Structures are given as structure tokens and as C-alpha cells.
Amino acid sequence: MSERRTSSDQRNNATFAALAMVLTIVFSFIVLVAFVIPDLLWFVLVPAGLGLMMVLHYFLWGRWLAKTLRDQQRPIETTSVASNSVEQSTE
């Protein structure tokens, strides 16, 4: 199980590194094109601003909501485990 988790973590790290490199190359190319064609800058800034808002929304709400739901489910799971152990001990 530990080996599977390690390979999964390595795969996730490799995927993140590849995605970061692709985004860096694409962003660099867009900036270069924006310097050559200045009117293109607005076509880059507006989607970039919208994308930034989406990323901020994900981190502010998505992560917070996932953590809140995970915290709410923990007491339920521990209660059900405790009740199962009580049922087994009474038999």
C-alpha cells in the first residue's frame, strides 16, 4: 500500500511539474505576442483576470467547503465504529 501511495504521489508531482512548465511556456509566448501586438494585451488580460478569479474562488470556497464536509463526516464515522464495537462486545 505504501509503494502504491508513493508512486501515486510521484505521478501527481510529475503531472504538476509538466502542467506548470506548459503554463509557463504558454504565458511567456502570450506575453511576447502582446509586446509585438499591443492591442492583443486586452484579449489576454481579461481572460487572465477571469481565470484568476476562478482560481481564487476555488481556493477560498472549494477547499474550505471540502475541509468543512470532511470535518463533519469524521464524528459520524467514529460514532458508527464505536457503536459497531459495542454491538460486537455485547454478543
pLDDT average, residue stretch 54-77 = 79
Enter the DSSP assignment of 37: S
Asked if residue 8 and residue 44 are part of one domain, the reply reads no
Asked if residue 87 and residue 61 are part of one domain, the reply reads yes
Q: pLDDT category, 80, cuts 50, 70, 90?
A: low
Percentage of the chain lying above the pLDDT 70 cut: 75
Count structural domains, the chain: 2
pTM assigned to the model: 0.44
Asked if residue 30 lies in contact with residue 46, where contact means CB atoms within 8 angstroms, the answer is: no
Asked if residue 70 and residue 29 are part of one domain, the reply reads no
Asked if residue 48 lies in contact with residue 31, where contact means CB atoms within 8 angstroms, the answer is: no
Q: Tens digit of pLDDT for each residue in 10-39?
A: 778 888 889 889 989 988 888 888 888 888
Query: Is it the case that residue 73 has pLDDT exceeding 70?
Result: yes
Domain encompassing residue 9? 1-36
